[in-house]
């Protein structure tokens, strides 16, 4: 199988502040690709670059072997990139159902009626079906994170970007989320999963990259990466507490 995503020597940031520097990595189709790294190392920024919320100042991004470096976000979404936000950003004045409906209508271009059924499927998959008529702004954190996933799935992506969907949840909720991701992988999505908690990543990913200061410091088999000196030093004193 080919690569679903390639970052080639990407420099990117916000305005004049450069965050990513010379970031390169490849994600194989069908994989769950884990990304760890200390806070502020640029993981979420990498997602912003991949979705086109920010434009790289150097380098190129490939999706499905197509250069998307200059493609606007909504087209990247239609090409098959579905993202979640680390801090959930639902359409607060709309119902859970409407949130996913919008994703299914605009992310795929299908009719509103068809999209409605697709939205229902995404809601069932993420366990939000019972809450579909609630205002999304009134949801508790776990459900907001689920809604992020549901909305991303609603756009019928090939590649799912999960940004700390397990952070801030209780142990039981984390297990739920891991199960959900496992299920998504089995149904054929490629996934890039950012998480701060090392333990979660160990059991759920096929490959792992560790980022620090805007670039990739180590990449490989999850177990190897976590045992590596680089990661041990980066996470020293952080790992025990979190």
Partner 1 sequence: MLKRKFTPSHVKVLDSPPMLILCIVLAVGLYIGCFAGLISNKAMRYLVQIFLYITMGEMWNLLSGYAGMTSLGQQLYIGLAGYSVAMATSPLFGLPLFGALLLGAGISVVVSLFMSLILFRLEGMYFSIATLVAAEAFCMLFFAWKFVGQGAGMTIRINPYPTLQEICILSMTICVVALALVYGLLRTRVGLGLTAMRDDITSAASVGVNIFSHKLLVYVIAAFFTALAGGIFFVNKGMIYPDSGFGISWTISMVFIAIIGGTGTVSGPIIGAIIYVFLNEKLADYPGWSNIILGTITILVILFLPNGIMGTLQKKLHFEIFSSKRFSFKLKKAAKEK
Dihedral sign computed on CA atoms, order 162, 164, 170, 171: positive
User: What letter does residue 130 receive in the DSSP assignment?
Assistant: G
Picked from Mg ion, ligand ADP, partner 1, none, the partner binding residue 14 (CB below 5 to 8 A depending on kind) is ligand ADP
Nearer to Mg ion, 66 or 87 (CB): 87
Shortest Cβ 61–partner 1 spacing (Å): 16
Whether the Cβ atoms of residue 60 and residue 1 lie closer than 8 Å to each other: no
Structure tokens at 51: 């979705």
Nearer to partner 1, 39 or 111 (CB): 111
Structure tokens at 131: 């809450």
Picked from ligand ADP, Mg ion, partner 1, none, the partner binding residue 116 (CB below 5 to 8 A depending on kind) is partner 1
- Give yes or no for residue 190 binding Mg ion (CB under 5 A): no
Picked from partner 1, Mg ion, ligand ADP, none, the partner binding residue 221 (CB below 5 to 8 A depending on kind) is none
- Residue 147 CB coordination number (10 Å): 27
Q: By rule CB under 5 A, what count of residues binds Mg ion?
A: 3
Nearer to partner 1, 21 or 95 (CB): 95
Residue 186 CA to residue 149 CA, distance in Å, equals 16
Picked from partner 1, ligand ADP, Mg ion, none, the partner binding residue 130 (CB below 5 to 8 A depending on kind) is partner 1
Q: Strand locations in the chain, DSSP E?
A: 3-14, 17-28, 32-36, 58-63, 66-67, 81-83, 159-163, 190-194, 207-212, 215-220
Nearer to ligand ADP, 123 or 201 (CB): 201
Whether the Cβ atoms of residue 198 and residue 167 lie closer than 8 Å to each other: no
Nearer to ligand ADP, 53 or 135 (CB): 53
Per-residue x/- mask for partner 1, residues 82 to 111, rule CB under 8 A? xx-x---xxxxxxx-xx--xxx-xxxx---
CA 98 → CA 30, 40, 109, 136, distances in Å? Answer: 29, 33, 16, 9
Burial of 169-203, coded b for 16+ CB within 10 Å and e otherwise, reads beeeebebbbebbeebbeeebbbbbbbbebebbee
Site for partner 1 in 53-72 (CB under 8 A): 53, 72
Shortest Cβ 196–ligand ADP spacing (Å): 8
Site for partner 1 in 180-209 (CB under 8 A): none
Shortest Cβ 46–partner 1 spacing (Å): 15
Structure tokens at 202: 């160990």
Structure tokens at 120: 């229902």
Helix, strand or coil, per DSSP, at residue 31: coil
List interacting residues with Mg ion (CB under 5 A): 43-44, 86
List interacting residues with partner 1 (CB under 8 A): 51, 53, 72-74, 77-78, 82-83, 85, 89-95, 97-98, 101-103, 105-108, 112-113, 116-117, 119-120, 130-135, 138, 151-152, 154-155
């Amino acid at each position: 199988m080919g690569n679903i995503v390639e970052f080639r020597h990407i420099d990117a940031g916000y305005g004049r502040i450069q965050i990513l520097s010379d970031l390169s990595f490849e994600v194989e189709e069908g994989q769950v690709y884990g990304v760890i790294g200390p806070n502020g190392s640029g993981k979420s920024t990498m997602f912003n670059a991949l979705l086109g919320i920010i434009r790289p100042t150097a380098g190129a991004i490939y999706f499905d072997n197509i250069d998307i470096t200059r493609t606007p976000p909504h087209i990247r979404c239609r090409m098959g990139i579905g993202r979640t936000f680390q801090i959930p950003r639902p359409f607060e004045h709309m119902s859970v159902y409407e949130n996913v409906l919008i994703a299914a209508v605009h992310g795929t271009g299908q009719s509103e009626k068809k999209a409605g059924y697709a939205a229902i499927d995404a809601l069932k998959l993420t366990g939000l079906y019972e809450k579909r008529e609630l205002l999304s702004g009134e949801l508790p954190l776990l459900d907001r994170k689920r809604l992020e996933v549901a909305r991303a799935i609603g756009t019928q992506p090939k590649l799912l970007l999960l940004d700390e969907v397990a952070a801030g949840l209780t142990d039981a909720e984390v297990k739920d989320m891991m199960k959900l991701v496992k299920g998504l992988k089995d149904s054929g999505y490629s996934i890039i999963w950012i998480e701060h908690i090392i333990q979660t990543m160990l059991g759920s990913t096929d490959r792992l990259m560790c980022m620090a200061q805007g670039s990739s410091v180590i990449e490989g088999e999850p177990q190897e990466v976590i045992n590596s000196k680089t990661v041990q030093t980066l996470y020293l004193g952080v790992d025990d507490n979190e």
